Amino acid sequence: MAQAGVYGRKLGQPLQLAEAPVLITRSLRSAELAVTETRNDNPVRDMSGSLPADDAYLVSLKFRDYAGCECWEQGRFVTKSDIRRGATYLYDLKRDPRYVIDKPFHSIFFYLPRSALDDIARQAGAPRIDELGYEPGIGHDDGVIRHLGASLLEALRRPEETNQLFVDHMMLALTAHVAQTYGGLRSITAPARGGLAAWQAKQACERLEADLGGKTPLKQIAAEFDLSVSHFSRAFRISTGLPPHQWLLQQRIRIAKQLMAVRDLSLSEIAISAGFANQSHFTRVFSAIVGVSPAAWRRDAHRPTKSET
């Protein structure tokens, strides 16, 4: 890429932020995708700074109302409109999007370079997307972006607990959705409907289980089978019933249960051994999936049955 990507500090500084939390994925062959949280509760009134020119789009989900937002492109005033919480807005980085900062704001921005849209179109056997359809300052009621954004906001706040497989999966889903909804992407070749071959499914599961922390990118695993990430993810789900990151989460829970049968292992030791970031992460995920805390599950598992008493 000619640019390092408009995310993290490069996105935060023009918005008066010294730092901005960011997650990055390289799940597409020629593209680096990112999501950044931007929040400023006490901004100084000023025009936002210019972002580096890039053949890319920013897709933004707003978490706070922003009345009377004055939008500019290419050095010219475009419109003044009320930004609504929960709405999605698009920005073309080739057009130098800017706005007047005069009140608190909170958003996340998805960085989608042209190369990502080209890759999605190529994988779908579809023509290249020309431009994304949008009007400056006009929001969209997009339930898919709201769902993906809320999930990734949690990941941005707990990066040490977020596995790369999850980020890869979510950003790939977002790119495909944006290409279809705002770029008019229509596949002209039917997607492969079959799952992985038996040996591929076995090898993929072994590969995932060998890295319980989920640090290995989907792109790397898919490349081992000479498949695109989208093809691999779809075929893996057909074969196992779950997308890779959810399948791995189930394996973590299974292994944690096995380890809790060992009485002299602490919950913090079990958490790390099963691929969780720490005991707090383990407790939160285990409780959400199993329905009880690890400590409660362990007590019940070790409680003598009537035949033993």
Contacts for 49 with CB less than 8 Å, ≥ 6 apart: 13, 14, 15, 98
DSSP bridge pairs for 76: 73
pLDDT, residue 8, reads: 87
pLDDT, residue 214, reads: 86
* Domains within the chain, CATH numbers bracketed: 9-183 (2.60.120.10), 198-246 (1.10.10), 259-308 (1.10.10.60)
Token output for 296: 């409660």
pLDDT, residue 122, reads: 85
E-strand stretches of the chain: 22-28, 31-40, 46-47, 56-62, 66-73, 76-83, 88-92, 98-101, 105-113
Residue stretches of the chain with pLDDT short of 70: 1-4, 29-30, 187-193, 303-309
pLDDT, residue 123, reads: 81
pLDDT, residue 264, reads: 80
Encoded amino acid at 162, one letter: T
Long-range contacts of 177-182 (CB under 8 A, 24+ apart): 177/144, 177/145, 177/148, 178/57, 178/59, 178/110, 178/112, 178/117, 178/132, 179/117, 179/120, 179/121, 179/129, 181/142, 181/144, 182/90, 182/132, 182/133, 182/134
Report yes or no on whether pTM surpasses 0.85.
no
Instruction: Calculate the alpha carbon distances from 193 to 115, 189, 238, 241 in Å.
Output: 26, 12, 8, 14
